[in-house]
Amino acid sequence: MSLSLRQWLADRQITLERLLDPSANVAGVAFRIVQDMEVKSLTPFDISPVVDVFELPLAESWRILTPITQLTVGLLRLLSRKKPLKRAEGTWLTFQIAYLKALHRMLRQEVQLGRPWLNRAVLPGGPEQDPLQDAKLNNLLKTLRPGKLSDSQAEQALSVLGESFLVQQMNQVCLAWLVANGAEAAEAKLMVQRLCHGLAGYLLAVVVDNAPPLAQLQKFVRLGLRSTRVEEERANYPLHELEPVLDVEREH
């Protein structure tokens, strides 16, 4: 059994745009989800925000990307208060948050560069909210919801990042999603490589911003990502506010 965050919100008529409002009670929504998880005996592995994003066409994925990420951060904090997260559970949620943040940056770069595949991804008639009907993508999505991650796989992810089993799983899904949205296979691979290049910096930021619930991850991140953080800072460059070619509201 698993829980789709996007479907949970839709069933309760909570629009994702409301979570972007500065006055929005994201913690309150997260609290209700955690309560529901307890009733259904669900674990952190039963939620996968990466799947919530990658099961949709590009325009809709872009629309929900930031609110889903923020909601997952709220869930991470609340779940840890209920019961200390195991290393594998903390790694599962942390990597998904970091991956979505890295995805957001990569997509904004693509918009800035005016990549042709973005136009191929936009369907006539506006954003499509139904899941993509792509057999390869859907089969890969099933590997991430519900999730499975052993302690040794969690340690591997924290130690080698892009070469780890967990990140490779997400990379395969991301690659299939990009191709399903109109990107050529070769350019999709380059985009995934760029995403992975920025992952270390975002992972470090998530751990630092959520130090209490991720105490078990801190020593691995400090030792494993010290050099990659410097590299990421050097590679990072400021991005200007972009006019949304995907016909979605501007991010704040």
Q: What is the tens place of the pLDDT at every residue in 72-112?
A: 999 999 999 999 999 999 999 999 999 999 999 999 999 99
Integer Cα distance of 243 and 247 in angstroms? 9
Q: Does residue 53 have a pLDDT over 50?
A: yes
Taking residues 144-151, report their average pLDDT: 94
Q: Does residue 152 have a pLDDT over 90?
A: yes
Residue given tokens 């691979």 in the structure block: 189
Taking residues 168-197, report their average pLDDT: 97
User: What is the reported pTM?
Assistant: 0.87
Band the pLDDT of 124: cuts 50, 70, 90: low
Q: Comparing C-alpha atoms, which of 88, 101, 89, 222 is closest to residue 156?
A: 88
Q: Does residue 234 have a pLDDT over 60?
A: no
Q: Does residue 210 have a pLDDT over 90?
A: yes
Sign, CA torsion 138/63/127/113: negative
